[in-house]
A = this chain, B = another copy of it.
């Protein structure tokens, strides 16, 4: 099935898909029928193993735009798989400023930062109306003890989160131009992996949130987006982004690693 370009607003606000395209998760809280299984926790598990972990998801939960899924300090009991929509992970600093630690879209797992201290280490806030699968962590550990496939998959998932963080650290030592370029390309890559258009998308986050994540001011983000627009690397219209010259962006981003 060839992924078709779908308007971002349509795409993400559609909570009840009418087909079984891999782009759209079923509403049922069952991994074996979920369109996201190749991106999410069950990645790489065979069909019969999938059946066994269907019981891992305890419930679906809707989170409205701007609502929190969990907050820093909340007792940790479950991790969450994003089914639809998107989230930011953020920290509120002592002076009230907010630091964005990452953005998450469908297929991503949220909340593993809570395991270490038995409470969540940051806030997860929905950037739009979203759905998550609630996965009680005790159940992950329980089934992991019985199924080495799931156990290993979960370990890989945590390890990859660490490697991703390495990437963020690298990013934070690059110039503002490089940071913005890498940010855009990273979004492209993630959308593409989900069958969405990699060349055109809606930013669900504000310039301020992007800036916070990239360690820049919102003005700097805006300026570099404008510059990319001027140099015809992208077309920006508010939150609509159209990638016109991905190779060109990659040249800029390539200055990093």
Binding site for B on A (CB under 8 A): 91, 93-94, 99, 101, 112-117, 121-122, 141, 144-146, 148, 151-152, 155-163, 165-166, 168-170, 172-173, 215, 254, 256-257
Contact = CB atoms under 8 A, between A and B. Distances in A.
Contacts of A169: 99, 101, 165, 168-169, 172, 215
Contacts of A155: 115, 141, 158
Contacts of A141: 148, 151-152, 155
B173 A257 contact: no
B215 A116 contact: no
A151 B144 contact: yes
10 contacts: A99-B170, A101-B169, A113-B162, A113-B163, A113-B166, A116-B157, A162-B162, A165-B168, A169-B215, A173-B215
A147 to B, nearest CB: 9
Contacts of A113: 159, 162-163, 166
Chain multiplicity (copies): 2
Nearest to A99: B170
A145 to B, nearest CB: 5
Contacts of A115: 155-156, 158-159
Given A113-B162, A113-B163, A162-B162, A148 B151 contact: no
A163 B94 contact: no
Contacts of A112: 158-159, 162
A93 B257 contact: yes
